[in-house]
Amino acid sequence: MARITLDHLAHAYKPNPQAPQDYALKEINHVWSQGGAYALLGPSGCGKTTLLNIISGLVRPTRGRILFDDRDVTDLPTEARNIAQVFQFPVVYDTMTVRENLAFPLKNRHVPRDKTAQRVEEIARLLDLTSVLNRKASNLTADMKQKISLGRGLVRPDVAAILFDEPLTVIDPHLKWQLRSTLKEIHRALDITMIYVTHDQTEALTFADKVVVMHDGAVVQTGTPDELFERPAHTFVGHFIGSPGMNILPCRVEGATAYLGNESVALQRGYRSLPGTDRIELGIRPEFVRLQPKGTGLPVRIRRIDDIGRARIARVEMNGRVLAASVPENLSVSGDEAGLHLDPHHIHIYADGHLVAGEALGGHAT
């Protein structure tokens, strides 16, 4: 059991990295606390697998240290770390039975036979593999194989953390839910740190207590699913999480008022000390943008309305910008012109992509 600390960690695949863009993984400081369920979320090529492989020891970082509790393991090989990893494509040893597969890591570590057998039985029960223990592993379905991969990690009594590298990619959709809830149950039962890499926000948000969002080799935000939804720290997070993603509109801010073209929007906070940059943007989630009858709110032109099951989402155009808005149930739209209401409590202001906190509006407000 261990807390995993990443200390000024960075990695470049090419030798002699100089510029920041040479790094596949830019400097990162992070602590994964013991027993947490984490998700590493980001698009393909954002460095999340690199980070995972550094933690498991398959890749040695260019700079920085990695600590398990207070022990520096940066130079320790994979097999000497108490880490298990489940890969995108299920890895099973074809020639062995399920039982032999599960026993393999213990056999390699010369654990006594009776202890191995007992441990294998335990893990098999936990993963619901008891009935197939004597079958050849190669004859099983992808989700069973993924369970075996997981089992090979769990079977080691000393395992501190299990890393998952997009483990549900090749699993049938209807089994994904099942396997994910198995993972959650195991996490609850065993008090093991789990780090789950994925590019699927649903997987990340349902699995993890804490989500680490990565973009372009850097961590852009770490937080609970709620935090990521309510207060995206970066426009990337706003856009990447949520479906549809956050509306991001270029704007001009003066004090507590944002100007979108000719229209002004009152804000809940003051922004007197915005960084001097040309890129000021207003971000608001479609859930907090409400379509209204024509003549009220901001004037927009409706392009189309999608029914996504539990809600209707309108794609509207304002000053040549397209944004998504929710359509209230009782609103019937006629014609293609309408108004838009932005909930001021959920408007965020971004400078160069980063969230600006702003000041609370007090009595001395402008």
Residues forming the site for other proteins (CB under 8 A): 53, 56, 58, 77-79, 83-85, 87-89, 91, 93-96, 104-105, 108-109, 136, 138-139, 149, 152-153
Q: Give 79 or 172: the residue with its C-beta nearer to other proteins.
A: 79
Nearest distance from C-beta of residue 284 to other proteins, angstroms: 41
User: Among residues 62 and 85, whose Cβ is nearest to other proteins?
Assistant: 85
- The bridge status of strand 71-72 relative to strand 25-32 is unpaired
The C-alpha atoms of residue 322 and residue 268 are separated, in whole angstroms, by: 24
**Min separation Cβ 127 and other proteins, Å:** 16
Give CA angle at 65 (64, 69), nearest 5°: 155
* Interacting residues of 266 by C-beta distance below 8 A, sequence separation 6+: 256, 257, 344
**What residues form DSSP beta bridges with 97?**
136
Whose Cβ is closer to other proteins: residue 144's or residue 260's? Answer: 144
Alpha carbon 272 to its chain's center: 33
Kindly give the interhelix angle for 113-127 and 98-108, rounded to the nearest 10 degrees.
Answer: 130
Q: Tell me whether strands 252-260 and 263-271 are parallel, antiparallel or unpaired.
A: antiparallel
Query: Which residue lies nearer to other proteins by CB, 15 or 335?
Result: 15
User: DSSP strand E in 272-330: where?
Assistant: 280-284, 289-292, 298-307, 312-318, 321-327
- State the minimum distance, in angstroms, from the CB of residue 152 to other proteins: 6
Q: How far is the CB of 191 from other proteins (least distance, A)?
A: 20
Coil, strand, or helix at residue 185?
helix
Q: How far is the CB of 352 from other proteins (least distance, A)?
A: 38
Q: Which is nearer to other proteins, 5 or 53 (CB)?
A: 53
